[in-house]
Homo-oligomer: A and B are copies of this chain.
Amino acid sequence: MTGPPRRDAGRPRGATVVSAVLAAVRAELAETGFEGLSVERVARRAEVNKTSVYRRWPTREALVAAAMEGLLEEFGDSPDTGSLRGDLLALAAPIADLAARPDGVALLRAALATTARGDLGGAALQRAGDGHSASSLAERARARGEWRPGVDPQQAIFTLVGAIIHRTLLEQAGPTGEWLEGLVDIVHRGIRADP
């Protein structure tokens, strides 16, 4: 008599909730870091109910992943700059830029702290240094004769990224331009074909 339930009825999801929560997450991350980020405080700060947060983002990791979504957008694919060294720099620069900002540091820390695979670390990987951009960079270099045979493209790129992580989280120093040049120098010489 009452018919099938309509799928589109009910109170619509407020877009304001999403933005308020994600803004709160970013603010909390900047203040207290990934450790010490609590759903409860995020909800309070966003003036949103705790249950509304849980409905959308089941875990803390999902929450920061969503909040950091934008930060990973820029790592689409490295452009062709005409030289291997240029390509490496073009790939490393946005990562270093991210690591220079406090929220970027928080994101990195979060990605590394999470034990379970497929959460933050995985997502970051897929975006940042994943197969695609690494292999396309290597492909271009090979075409130019710059790539030393036998070098694994991923290993090269990951070495670059790992150095930035070490710099940011362990040395707790900002990856300056000069420092980055030195790093790219090392890696570039490390993977280029023998002259």
Question: Cβ of A47 < 8 Å from any Cβ of B?
Answer: yes
The residue in A14, A112, A164, A166 that gathers the most chain B C-beta atoms within 10 A of its C-beta is A166
Whether the pair B156, A159 counts as a contact (CB closer than 8 A) is no
Q: How many copies does the complex hold?
A: 4
Select A170's contact among B112, B156, B191, beta carbons within 8 Å.
B112
Question: Cβ of A113 < 8 Å from any Cβ of B?
Answer: yes
Question: Cβ of A183 < 8 Å from any Cβ of B?
Answer: yes
Q: Please give, as numbers and ranges, the residues of chain B lying within 8 Å of A121 by CB-CB distance.
A: 169-170, 172
Select A112's contact among B109, B155, B158, B179, beta carbons within 8 Å.
B109
Q: How far is the CB of A126 from chain B (nearest CB, A)?
A: 11
- Bound-complex Cα distance A152 to B159 (A): 17
- Bound-complex Cα distance A25 to B143 (A): 52
Q: How far is the CB of A124 from chain B (nearest CB, A)?
A: 7
Whether the pair B166, A161 counts as a contact (CB closer than 8 A) is yes
4 nearest A-B pairs in the assembled complex, by CB-CB distance: A162-B166, A162-B162, A190-B190, A186-B190
Q: What are some 21 contacts across the A-B interface (CB < 8 A)? A: A34-B113, A109-B112, A109-B115, A112-B169, A112-B170, A124-B170, A125-B170, A155-B183, A155-B186, A156-B186, A158-B166, A158-B170, A159-B162, A159-B183, A161-B170, A162-B162, A162-B163, A162-B164, A162-B165, A165-B166, A186-B190
